Structure 1
Amino acid sequence: MSNFTHIDKNGNPKMVDVSVKKTTKRTAIAKASMFLGEEIISNFSENELYTKKGPVFQTAIIAGIQAVKKTSSLIPMCHPLLINGVNVQIEVVDSENINVFCKVTIEGKTGVEMEALTGVNIACLTIYDMCKSRSQKMIIKEIKLVEKTGGKSDFKSN
């Protein structure tokens, strides 16, 4: 009926059975681009902004890591995974923009793309939450999978 893996032959949703897959090392890297604006970035000192809520980037990194670990609770068809590692990095691109990266690694039977994408999303939302008192002009512009390795096929975006 469908080429989608999460739909059975009757058109009903299903969780993919990964029991027959081989355990392999799998990684995924996601990236988010975010416009903060000069009004916010000009307040940073040594790549960090301290607000009444605490250090913005440090808090966003922790939030991104927590999000990776909770992905299967948020997205119905994601398998709970034993995560080997998560690395969230935030870089100031220029006087108005930042990039957020999330790399997730496991040794398992299913990929970690959704975990990496969830990590960058929540990191950006945390930055927005912590900076919204200074400006509501922030924009989470682009969220995408940058790279995936392991499993059936590898992927790398341009």
Structure 2
Amino acid sequence: MMPAQPGFRLARGVARMLIGMGHAPLCEFVPSGGLRVDVISVAPSGEIWIVECKSCRADFTGDRKWQGYLDWCDRFFWATDCDFPVELLPEGSGLIVADAYGAELSRMAPAAKLAAARRARVLRDIARTAACRLVRSTDPQAFPDMI
């Protein structure tokens, strides 16, 4: 099933690329109250990547929460389509060019290692969220108030 909204289409392509790189991506993840990242991924090395998908200029300029995501990952990326004005994006972040079918890593994000306690918490929360979603996919009544 193809997602209708442009941001979800980008996230789908990003997830496909990350899987191809050996990552374990999870879409629509809440690392902390008030934050919701488009894609969080655990790399084969254990690094945690966050990818924020932006479908247009207004989507980017209206987002003021993205800086809060930096505290929850080792590398931070933007994902855009090929028509996005990338000169708007801040320096010092990675860039992925995507569509609904795939993506290409255009610029690697610099590493900013998470503290061990934060990494343990994020990995635990990713695992719990993914496990609950998997159970819910076969038993929708199992977790009625979860995503």
- When normalised by structure 2's length, the TM-score is 0.32
Kindly indicate which of the two structures has a greater share of residues assigned to helix.
2
Largest Rg, 1 or 2: 1
- When normalised by structure 1's length, the TM-score is 0.31
